[in-house]
Amino acid sequence: MQGLPMHVDLQNTEQSLFQDRYRVAAQAKVRGILERVQQQHLFCSLHFAQAEHSFSSVLLPGAEPKELLFDLPIDFPAALALPADVTVLVRLDGVMTGFRSQCLQRRDDMLQVAFPQALYQLQRRQLYRVPPAISDPDEVRIQRRGASALVGRMQDISIGGQRILLRQVPAGPLPRVGDVLPAISFALRDSPLITVSASVCFVSAPQADTLALGVCFLDLPRPAADLIAQYVQARDREILQVLGIGLPGSSGVFREKKTSLLRRWWRGA
């Protein structure tokens, strides 16, 4: 399977996933999760800082306790020097799952990866933040009490709130954490204008005449919540498709454990 281009969505995924609150540290649980990934033959997305794109592979059986074995991706560059740091992402039962480790060496037609010290799972799908696509609307208009209105650009959104970038720092008082915003208005792809109240959750320090704020939606009406949830899920699927993360490796009936047959099957040979 052809590797897929890396872009800002990978950075967004990593920033969302690799947080202490999503960390699975118990080694027994980590092993159990990775065994399920291997048994279900899910496609994993392998990312190396030295490579221009990601690589799709499957986790192979037969590894030693302190390692993982991945089938050597079809287009894996011979010039990529090992050992090298690697980020592995996969979608397991609808949950984004990933770890950071070190790819130690090529061994036969496999990549030997050190068993990870920790694994991360993003459990709260609805609260997963996604960036808008380049072609999607991203303008956000912000009404404030006792201060001038602001216009910003949506950086990401979830059903719980959004991050907004102001291209110009307000001349008057800056938004503060805890401020209630009577109305913020924005549109999503193919949606009518959505207007909701919100509170300011964080404010960045102004940099180069820009300011970022995070807002949490207040009393989100059900129709607006449904529109946002649908958009988040659609963008989540698009991002996973572009990154090649967690696509089903089989219909679930394939149970052959032999490494050579598994390789031939997923490569279409």
Q: What distance in Å separates the CA atoms of residue 125 and residue 133, rounded to the nearest whole number?
A: 19
Cα separation, 211 vs 152, in Å, equals 9
pLDDT, tens digit, 9 for 90 and up, residues 53-68: 788 889 998 889 999 9
Q: What residue spans define the domains of the chain?
A: 8-123+241-267, 139-220
The yes-or-no verdict on residue 171 having pLDDT over 70 is yes
- The number of CA neighbours under 13 Å toward the Cβ of 221 is 8
Superfamily (CATH H level) for 8-123+241-267? Electron Transport, Fmn-binding Protein; Chain A (2.30.110.10)
pLDDT at 252: 42
- SS3 of residue 80 by DSSP: coil
Do domains 8-123+241-267 and 139-220 share one topology? The answer is no
Confidence band, pLDDT 50/70/90 cuts, at residue 5? very low
Predicted TM-score (pTM) of this structure = 0.56
pLDDT in tens, 206-260: 776 788 899 999 988 999 999 998 898 888 778 767 666 555 554 343 344 455 6
Residue 230 zone, left/alpha/beta (φ > 0; ψ -120 to 50; rest): alpha
Q: CA 92, CA 34: separation in Å to the nearest integer? A: 10
Kindly list the distances between the CA atom of residue 191 and the CA atoms of 3, 33, 136, 195, 223, in Å, as whole numbers in the listed order.
33, 38, 10, 12, 11
Ramachandran region of residue 102, left (φ > 0), alpha (ψ -120 to 50) or beta?
beta
The answer to whether 121 and 143 have CB atoms below 8 angstroms apart is: no
Assign 36 to helix, strand or coil. Answer: helix
Distance of alpha carbon 60 from alpha carbon 107, whole angstroms: 13
Task: Domain 139-220: state its class.
Answer: mainly beta
pLDDT grade, residue 8 (50/70/90)?
very low
Q: What letter does residue 44 receive in the DSSP assignment?
A: E
Beta bridge partners of 98: 89, 120
